[in-house]
């Protein structure tokens, strides 16, 4: 599989949904496979909250491949001998694209908390500028899970001519109060930590010891990515062998796992970027600029493939069913396929249990 990693700087204004303007910005991206002569074989993959443009393959010296390596590659479901796959790091992230702790305009200091609030629409508009620069005027398909699914839906609604196939997994048309509540825990943990310094920390401050409040907030968020059944199966009531049962801070295995996950994540992900991205997710509501969800979905021209997971407690199957039902009410029933995967893993099933849903993606791409 041919992998190419690069970035593009845009020395132009990006008009944001908030009314503010980003004077310049950089987008990091990665591609897999080769674009054909008429540039008709491009598949856009959108990453989730903590993901990046590194969706597949391995960098030299890395032990882990990209976050969707099980699906993207030569001979895999998203076959890079057939398709040209591109994944762009979203605005606001901390993996190469412009965000609160990076330069937006060359020579300018990071804006930090003066960085404007961005929305899913802003993320997509910036990526559309990149695709245009690369000569990709129409994608064969767009696909994403969770936050990536929000981006895919946004493309279908706001850029209906860009693709004929939209594939959403474990996502929603509007972030629910339940999901916003988990994000609030992370936000409070970050901003109330004294080491956060109102966003004026140095980027290297948390390399050795992550921001403690961020780690705690991440633990809360991570609970929403799993499910009671998956936790029971993975940990049960097993106790850490070296901890005493009657020690006050002795731990069950699940507690040690949460500590490990939270602390390691807090060392590798920028806390300001996390705040900006979860704000974008909280704002997301596909119906907010129209009278109703149906009014928004009416502009979609693409064939929609919706995949939810029965054990997903963050973006529940009923939310994807609402999209399906709204499209059916519009007389678009033949243009939407909905599948609820029988999974008890939880929200993160779309990153793990490929064998339970990959054939739906294959069908959508072949259809």
Distances (CA, A) of 265 to 196, 248, 252: 16, 26, 20
- Paired with 143 in beta bridges are 45, 167
Structure tokens at 168: 């959403």
For residues 80 and 355, give the distance between their C-alpha atoms in angstroms, rounded to a whole number: 19
> Which of 146, 227, 230, 308 is the catalytic position?
146
The single-letter DSSP state of residue 336 is: E
> Which of 122, 193, 347, 348 is the catalytic position?
347
> Which of 79, 122, 193, 312 is the catalytic position?
312
Q: What angle do CA 201, 202, 206 make, to 5 degrees?
A: 85
146 in catalytic set: yes
The distance from CA 245 to its chain's CA centroid, rounded to whole angstroms, is 39
Q: Are strands 165-169 and 303-309 parallel, antiparallel or unpaired?
A: parallel
Structure tokens at 218: 């991440």
**Phi first, then psi: what are they for 315, rounded to 5°?**
-115, 100
285 in catalytic set: no
347 in catalytic set: yes
**Residues known to be catalytic:** 146, 312, 347
């Amino acid at each position: 599989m041919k992998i190419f990693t690069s970035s593009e700087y845009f020395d132009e204004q990006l008009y944001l949904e908030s009314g503010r303007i980003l004077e310049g910005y950089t987008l990091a991206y990665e591609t897999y496979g080769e674009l054909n002569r008429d540039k008709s074989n491009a598949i856009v993959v959108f990453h989730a909250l903590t993901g990046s443009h590194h969706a597949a393959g391995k960098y030299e010296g890395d032990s882990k491949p990209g976050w969707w390596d099980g699906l993207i590659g030569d001979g895999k479901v998203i076959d890079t001998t057939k398709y040209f796959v591109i994944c762009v790091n979203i605005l606001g992230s901390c993996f190469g694209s412009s965000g609160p702790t990076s330069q937006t305009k060359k020579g300018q200091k990071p804006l930090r908390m003066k960085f404007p609030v961005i929305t899913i629409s802003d993320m997509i508009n910036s990526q559309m500028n990149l695709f245009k620069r690369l000569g990709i005027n129409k994608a064969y398909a767009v696909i994403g899970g969770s936050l990536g699914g929000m981006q895919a839906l946004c493309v279908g609604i706001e850029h209906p001519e860009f693709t004929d196939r939209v594939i959403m997994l474990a996502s929603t048309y509007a972030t629910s109060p339940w999901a916003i509540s988990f994000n609030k825990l992370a936000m409070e943990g970050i901003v109330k930590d004294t080491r956060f310094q109102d966003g004026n920390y140095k980027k290297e401050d948390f390399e050795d010891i992550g921001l403690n409040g961020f780690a705690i907030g991440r633990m809360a968020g991570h609970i929403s990515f799993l499910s009671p059944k998956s936790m029971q199966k993975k940990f049960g009531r097993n106790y850490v062998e070296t901890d005493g049962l009657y020690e006050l801070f002795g731990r069950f295995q699940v507690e040690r796992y949460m500590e490990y996950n939270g602390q390691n994540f807090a060392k590798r992900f920028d806390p300001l970027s996390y705040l900006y991205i979860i704000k974008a997710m909280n704002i997301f509501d596909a119906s907010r600029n129209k009278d109703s969800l149906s009014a928004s979905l009416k502009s979609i021209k693409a064939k929609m493939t919706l995949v939810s997971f029965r054990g997903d407690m963050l973006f529940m199957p009923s939310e994807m069913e609402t999209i399906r039902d709204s499209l059916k009410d519009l007389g678009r029933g033949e243009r939407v396929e909905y599948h609820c995967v029988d999974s008890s893993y939880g929200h993160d099933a779309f990153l793990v249990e490929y064998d339970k849903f990959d054939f739906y993606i294959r069908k959508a791409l072949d259809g």
